[in-house]
């Protein structure tokens, strides 16, 4: 059984990320608002929802989270789960929702993520082996892992800081047209990026996501429900998932990521070619993440990501539209909502709701979700049928 065309995204909802958590706001409060908004967007009633997938918010984690959330929302799901694959959780929810629908377990699944940015020391819970063998050496947080990926990529392929910076510059061109982007107030130049503060060599401040508060939601539905939704359905054509490490230290390679098997599986299921894709939404916690994703997804040869981004205009108006919402780098990273922003942007563009940054005649989008330090990968191919 394939998931090709078995379910469609029919509604989206999203907050403009807040740079600091608004007082009195909790993840549950945000999720309740998102649920009301996404039902309204899709034109569905709460009673239509019979599946619930949610990401665990760091700001308010707990056991039996999905049932507690369902109780708060007054939902009676036939399938409920936390999806815990880091930044890939959002993309991972979409194919899991489609699989539940294709298996006849559900008809309409809500995929929800919301979180608050707590300023201060990173308190992300990690497993005991990471506390024992990583933390004593200062391998804490994500910046340093991606910096080591970037250094290795520079060493093996001659990738330059200018090439990586260009990604942030082009995504910002789209962000200034996105009213929901938290960092979309002005354009950037390559010099702006390279003169921003060095955080972890070779990564500069403007190549690194800013943690925010916020969240987003998507409803995935069966063909029967999609027929009566308000929006043009955006069909899941292909999906692939893969992981081969947790800590980057033990990844088989720093420069060849598990994105390749995930993307290959998604394209194979969809039966489409790379050249058919109208826009790509690669998870962008860092500039180097986008560069490696474009290579491992097959848009250019391994090691050619640097020249590729220099040769193409990655903005919404360019010849290779990439993260037309600005990416997380300019949109902001509201916890797992950062990873959902790539999904919602793909859906929004295919629905023809890109407004000032609409990609012309967009019918096929490729979304890639990335968790941890280039660990869990989920690729999705989405289609709007004419």
Q: Least distance from C-beta 134 to another protein, angstroms?
A: 5
Q: How far apart are CA 271 and CA 363, in angstroms?
A: 14
| Helix axes of 287-296 and 143-157: crossing angle, nearest 10 degrees | 50
Contact assessment for residue 333 and residue 210, using Cβ atoms and an 8 Å cutoff: yes
Query: Which residue's structure tokens are 């009195």?
Result: 24
In the bound complex, what is the minimum distance in angstroms from residue 253's beta carbon to another protein?
10
Query: Among residues 188 and 203, whose Cβ is nearest to another protein?
Result: 203
Residues forming the site for another protein (CB under 8 A): 121-122, 128-129, 131-141, 143-144, 147-149, 151-152, 154-155, 197-203, 247-250, 254
Which residue, 153 or 177, has its beta carbon nearer to another protein?
153
Shorter beta-carbon distance to another protein: residue 5 or 303: 303
Q: Provide long-range contacts, Cβ within 8 A and 24+ apart, for 136-141.
A: 139/247, 139/249
Decide whether 108 or 208 has the Cβ nearer to another protein. Answer: 208
Which residues lie closer than 8 Å to 19 by C-beta, 6 or more apart?
117, 182, 210, 212, 213, 332
Cβ 157 to another protein shortest distance, Å: 12
Nearer CB in complex with another protein: 29/118: 118
Cα(324)–Cα(354) distance, rounded to whole angstroms? 9
Cβ proximity to another protein: between 69 and 373 the closer is 373
In the complex, what is the shortest distance from the CB of residue 156 to another protein, in angstroms, rounded to a whole number? Answer: 8
From the CB of 23, what's the least distance to another protein, in Å? 25
The alpha carbon of 36 is separated from its chain's Cα centroid by a whole number of angstroms, namely: 22
Q: Is 244 exposed, middle or buried (0-12, 13-18, 19+ CB in 10 A)?
A: middle
Which region, left, alpha or beta, applies to residue 281 given φ > 0 means left and ψ of -120 to 50 means alpha?
beta
Distance separating alpha carbons of residues 87 and 337, to the nearest angstrom: 8
Interatomic CA distance for residues 386 and 377, integer angstroms: 29
From the CB of 167, what's the least distance to another protein, in Å? 19
Rounded to whole angstroms, what are the CA distances from 360 to 35, 123, 363? 30, 43, 9
Task: Choose between 24 and 136: whose C-beta lies nearer to another protein.
Answer: 136
| In the complex, minimum distance from the CB of residue 197 to another protein, in angstroms, rounded to a whole number | 7
Nearer to another protein, 72 or 124 (CB): 124
Q: How far is the CB of 308 from another protein (least distance, A)?
A: 22
Are 179 and 17 contacting, i.e. CB atoms less than 8 angstroms apart? no
Tokens of 279: 């826009």
């Amino acid at each position: 059984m394939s998931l090709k065309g078995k379910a469609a995204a029919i509604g989206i909802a999203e907050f403009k990320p807040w740079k600091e958590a608004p007082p009195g706001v909790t993840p549950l409060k945000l999720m309740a608002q998102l649920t009301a908004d996404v039902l309204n967007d899709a034109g569905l009633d709460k009673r239509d929802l019979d599946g619930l997938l949610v990401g665990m918010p760091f700001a308010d984690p707990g056991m039996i989270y999905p049932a507690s959330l369902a109780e708060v929302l007054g939902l009676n799901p036939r399938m409920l789960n936390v999806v815990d694959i880091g930044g890939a959780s959002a993309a991972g929810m979409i194919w899991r929702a489609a699989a539940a629908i294709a298996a006849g377990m559900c008809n309409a699944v809500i995929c929800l993520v919301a979180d608050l940015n707590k300023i201060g020391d990173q308190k992300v819970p990690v497993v005991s082996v990471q506390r024992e063998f990583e933390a004593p050496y200062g391998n804490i947080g994500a910046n340093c892992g991606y910096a080591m990926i970037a250094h290795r990529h520079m060493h093996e392929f001659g990738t330059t800081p200018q090439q990586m910076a260009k990604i942030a510059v082009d995504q910002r061109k789209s962000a200034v047209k996105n009213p929901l982007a938290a960092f979309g107030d002005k354009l950037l130049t390559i010099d702006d990026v390279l003169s921003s503060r060095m955080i972890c060599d070779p990564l500069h401040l403007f190549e690194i996501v800013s943690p925010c508060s916020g969240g987003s939601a998507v409803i995935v539905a069966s063909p029967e429900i999609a027929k009566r939704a308000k929006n043009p359905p955006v069909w899941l054509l292909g999906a692939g998932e893969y992981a081969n490490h947790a800590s980057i230290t033990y990844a088989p390679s720093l420069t060849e990521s598990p994105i390749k098997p995930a993307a290959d599986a998604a394209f194979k299921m969809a039966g489409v070619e790379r050249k058919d894709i109208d826009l790509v939404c690669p998870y962008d916690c860092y500039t180097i993440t986008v560069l490696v994703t474009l290579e491992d997804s097959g848009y250019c040869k391994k090691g050619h990501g640097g020249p590729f981004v220099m040769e193409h205009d990655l903005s919404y108006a360019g010849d290779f539209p990439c993260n037309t919402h600005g990416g997380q780098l300019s949109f902001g990273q509201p916890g797992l909502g950062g990873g959902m922003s790539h999904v919602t942007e793909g859906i929004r563009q295919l629905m023809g709701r890109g407004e000032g940054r609409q990609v012309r005649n967009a019918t096929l989008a490729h979304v890639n979700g990335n968790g941890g330090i280039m660990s869990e990968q989920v690729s999705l191919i989405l289609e709007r049928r004419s």
